[in-house]
């Protein structure tokens, strides 16, 4: 009987403990239903949104307990828009709700709507993990409500397709063409244009227009983009660097470019201009002067007069030498091939010092000195024709590969460099000259170094 009473007492205690236990919240849905968890979404400055203007969605997740870990937003998709990569870190804060302090995690989504119209953002999924009072850590996925916004286009932007929405934009240009300078064939100018845009990430800055010019080879370095954030103000920076190599003589011009931007704070259209650039390229052929005609002397049989004539003749030679000293210098350089030797030496020195652009120019001058100088005095030479490096090495596959390696090192910052052995092989005297003669006959097809697509 005593044992039965003890068993009955234990059974009653068990039942009492079961029925007296509080109800447990098993999911995040129950936390929301019990007013222990909430999620809201809103748009910052939803009025007068211009197409291509940044739209910021703010998602607030709040709980009357605390978060076990950071919230995570699922991928968001929206047609005809650009969505910036989400920041993995949430903004933590607190909020007083009905006299109770709630922990809040805020996440922001930045969207760039590219067209005019109404954009509907569907429910956004958010992973949460809450440290509850009696149920331990409760994790799950909740979602926001759907939200929409409308974009428009001011009348001032009606006929403008390319523009940026920003309160400030500036342009800096380095490497300006000199309209008063006469550039030589084989010279090169590198122009760097830097765009700085406030409150716009660099990835949203459109590239500048590039103009192709006949007689000019154009090499563009990889674009540099970066973002800076100073005291809460973000700035996007885009840097484009282009090298122009002058291949043919003539006058050239790059057209003006105008960049439009809409100032949302002032509500007006602004613009910045990259001015047109003009320059002149001249050939580097050197005119060859001829010796004066034969001079006749009166013959004399008198010894004293002969000696006098010898003195006069010597003075005449000295005078003529002084008068035509430039011709003598040119004649000596031609006979001794001095220009070719100087270009070869400068080319090898540039290779040794890894000055690749100077090496390209000296290679061109070396070939020019070797081949074109042999045409001096002819009508063809006086036309100031030039040589195309690509066509010059057309029949030599190995040297063509070496030439491409040099050009890549000079104008595309390639890690593969030309060594001294390869450089000497590149300027080794060619046995076939018929190719050069053919080039000089048809100057219309001459280009310096129009490279293949894979260079």
C-alpha angle with apex 387: 382 to 392, nearest 5 degrees? 145
Count of CA atoms in the C-beta half-sphere (13 A) of 379: 1
Q: What is the pLDDT of residues 77-108, one digit of tens each?
A: 999 999 998 887 888 999 898 888 999 999 99
Q: How many angstroms separate the Cα of 289 from the Cα of each of 60, 286, 329, 336? A: 86, 10, 11, 17
Same domain membership, residue 168 and residue 144:
no
Total-model pTM: 0.58
Q: Within a domain: residue 9?
A: no
CATH number, residue 105:
2.60.40
- Number of Cβ atoms within 10 Å of the Cβ of 11: 10
Asked if 284 contacts 422 with a C-beta cutoff of 8 angstroms, the reply is no
Average pLDDT over residues 203-218: 91
Buried b (16+ CB within 10 A) or exposed e, 376-412: eeeeebeebbbbbbbbbbeebeebbebbbbbbbbbbe
Whether 171 is in a domain gets the answer yes
* Residues 6+ positions from 196 with CB-CB distance below 8 Å: 169, 170, 171, 172, 235, 236, 237
pLDDT at 453 over 60: no
Average pLDDT for the chain: 80
| Residue at 296 is within a domain | no
HSE value, Cβ hemisphere, 13 Å, CA-based, for 271: 12
- Dihedral angle computed from the Cα positions of residues 333, 336, 340 and 343, in that order, rounded to the nearest 10 degrees: -70
DSSP state, residue 157:
G
State the residue range of the domain holding 357: 324-445
pLDDT at 371: 66
pLDDT higher than 70, residue 285: no
Alpha helix ranges (H) inside 353-445 = 356-371, 379-382, 389-392, 397-411, 420-426, 434-441
CA distance 405 to 282: 27
Question: How many Å apart are CA 106 and CA 111, to the nearest integer?
Answer: 16
pLDDT tens figures, 33-72:
988 999 999 999 878 899 999 999 999 999 998 898 889 9
Last residue of one domain, picked from the residues 248, 282, 316: 282
Q: Do 332 and 392 have their domain in common?
A: yes
* 250 dihedral zone (left: phi>0; alpha: psi -120 to 50; beta): left
Closest CA to 337 of 361, 384, 363, 372: 372
What are the angstrom distances between the C-alpha of 369 and each of 33, 148, 215, 337, 387?
89, 71, 21, 8, 11
Asked if residue 311 is part of any domain, the answer here is no
Weakest mean pLDDT among 271-285, 307-321, 374-388, 403-417: 374-388
Q: Are residues 143 and 55 in the same domain?
A: yes
pLDDT, one tens digit per residue, over 215-228 is 999 999 999 999 99
- Residue 291: inside a domain, yes or no? no
Q: Are residues 149 and 181 in the same domain?
A: no
Residue 207 lies in a domain: yes
Average pLDDT (154-166) is 92
Least confident of 41-55, 100-114, 197-211, 276-290: 276-290
Most confident of 280-294, 344-358, 429-443: 344-358
pLDDT at 315: 83
Burial degree of 127 (CB within 10 A; 0-12, 13-18, 19+):
middle
* Co-location of 196 and 146 in the same domain: no
pLDDT tens, residue by residue, 13-30: 565 554 444 444 468 999
- Confidence grade of residue 407 (pLDDT, cut at 50, 70, 90): confident
Domain count, the chain: 3
Of 333 and 199, the one with more pLDDT: 199
Residues 211, 261, single domain; the answer is yes
Last residue within a domain, chosen from 124, 153, 182? 153
In a domain, 313, yes or no: no
| pLDDT score of 52 | 93
Element spanning 322, H or E:
helix 303-323
Position with higher pLDDT, 240 vs 178: 240
| pLDDT greater than 50 at residue 312 | yes
pLDDT at 311: 83
Cα separation, 417 vs 396, whole angstroms: 20
* Residue that finishes a domain, picked among 153, 185, 203: 153
SS3 assignment, position 280 = strand
Establish if 289 belongs to a structural domain. no
């Amino acid at each position: 009987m005593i044992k039965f009473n003890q068993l009955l007492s234990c059974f009653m205690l068990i039942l009492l403990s079961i029925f007296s236990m509080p109800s447990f919240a098993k999911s995040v849905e129950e936390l929301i239903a019990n007013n222990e968890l909430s999620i809201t979404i809103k748009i910052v400055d939803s009025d007068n949104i211009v197409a291509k203007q940044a739209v910021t969605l703010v998602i607030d997740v709040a709980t009357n307990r605390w978060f076990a870990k950071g919230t995570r937003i699922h991928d968001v998709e929206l047609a005809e828009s650009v969505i910036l990569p989400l920041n993995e870190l949430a903004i933590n804060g607190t909020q007083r709700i009905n006299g109770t302090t709630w922990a809040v995690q805020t996440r922001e989504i930045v969207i760039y709507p590219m067209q005019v119209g109404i954009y509907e953002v569907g429910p956004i999924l958010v992973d949460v993990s809450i440290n509850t009072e009696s149920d331990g850590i409760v994790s799950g996925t909740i979602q926001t409500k759907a939200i929409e916004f409308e974009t428009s286009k001011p009348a001032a932007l009606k006929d403008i397709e390319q523009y940026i929405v920003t309160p400030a934009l500036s342009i800096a240009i380095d490497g300006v063409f000199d309209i008063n300078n006469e550039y030589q064939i084989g010279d090169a100018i590198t122009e760097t244009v830097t765009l700085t845009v406030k409150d716009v990430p660099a990835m949203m800055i459109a590239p500048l227009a590039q103009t192709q010019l006949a007689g000019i080879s154009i090499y563009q370095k990889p674009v540099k983009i970066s973002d800076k954030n100073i005291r809460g103000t973000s700035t996007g920076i885009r840097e484009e660097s282009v090298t122009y190599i002058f291949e043919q003589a003539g006058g050239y011009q790059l057209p003006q470019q105008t960049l439009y931007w809409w100032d949302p704070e002032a509500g007006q259209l602004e613009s910045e201009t990259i001015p047109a650039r003009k320059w002149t390229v001249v050939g580097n052929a050197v005119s060859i002067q001829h010796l004066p005609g034969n001079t006749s002397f009166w013959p004399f049989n008198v010894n004293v007069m002969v000696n006098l004539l010898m003195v006069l003749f010597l003075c005449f030679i000295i005078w003529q030498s002084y008068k035509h000293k430039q011709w003598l210098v040119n004649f000596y350089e031609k006979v001794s091939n001095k220009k070719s030797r100087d270009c070869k030496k400068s080319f090898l020195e540039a290779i040794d010092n890894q000055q690749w652009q100077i090496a390209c120019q000296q290679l061109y001058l070396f070939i020019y000195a070797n081949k074109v100088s042999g045409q001096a005095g002819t009508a063809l030479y006086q036309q100031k024709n030039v040589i195309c490096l690509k066509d010059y090495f057309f029949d030599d596959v190995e040297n063509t590969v070496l030439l491409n390696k040099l050009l890549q090192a000079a104008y595309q910052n390639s890690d593969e460099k030309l060594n001294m052995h390869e450089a000497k092989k590149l300027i080794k005297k060619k046995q076939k000259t018929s190719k050069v003669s053919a080039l000089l006959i048809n100057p219309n097809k001459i280009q310096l170094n129009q490279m293949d697509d894979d260079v």
